[in-house]
Amino acid sequence: MIFTLTTFTQGQGLNVGDKVPSFEALTDEGSNWNLNNNLEKDYLVVYFYPAAMTGGCTAQACAYRDLNNNLEAKNAKVVGVSGDKPENLKFFKKAHNLNFTLLSDPKGDIAKKFGVPLRDGGTYKGEFNGENFELSRDVTTNRWTFIIDKEGKIVYKNDKVDAAKDSEQVLSFLEKNS
């Protein structure tokens, strides 16, 4: 795995109570996704992760997959955002049977809107089901999670995410606040 530590953005970014600026992205299926068209549920969980198929990111995504029914029961929808290209995300989603949408943010434009720090991307080489793969990205984001309400306002922010516990913390917040 090759990642450099050049940081493109720093700072606090969006905070609880802030309105999220509208954004669009390509999904893991290559279709257009728009924030304003995806606020139909009470909550939208937007989690940023560094790189598809890496250890922590896989643990985080699989935990969201495993708790997705519980999150949906709280009227929440999950989307994961990374600097990976749609074809990388499609591979990641299929490899781990993920049951939620992944958004491609190849230049870090979405991350910048939220204030999520970025670094130079890199290439991750690995093996899955006996086959070698190589995934490259231009940017890598920090691991941050937000929950957005129906009005498009941030109701939860975690900029010190523990990959394995993120989905449990989100679900706990929703259970206490819905």
Contacts 24+ apart (CB under 8 A), 1-5: 1/51, 1/54, 1/122, 1/123, 1/124, 1/125, 2/122, 2/123, 2/124, 3/50, 3/51, 3/119, 3/120, 3/121, 3/122, 3/140, 4/119, 4/120, 4/122, 5/119, 5/120
79 within 8 A of 46, measured Cβ to Cβ? yes
Decide: helix, strand or coil at residue 15: coil
State the DSSP code for 162: -
For residue 124, what are the β-bridge partners?
135
**Catalytic one of 46, 57, 102, 110:** 57
Q: Which amino acid is at 131?
A: E
Q: Is 62 assigned a catalytic role?
A: no
Positions annotated as catalytic residues are: 57
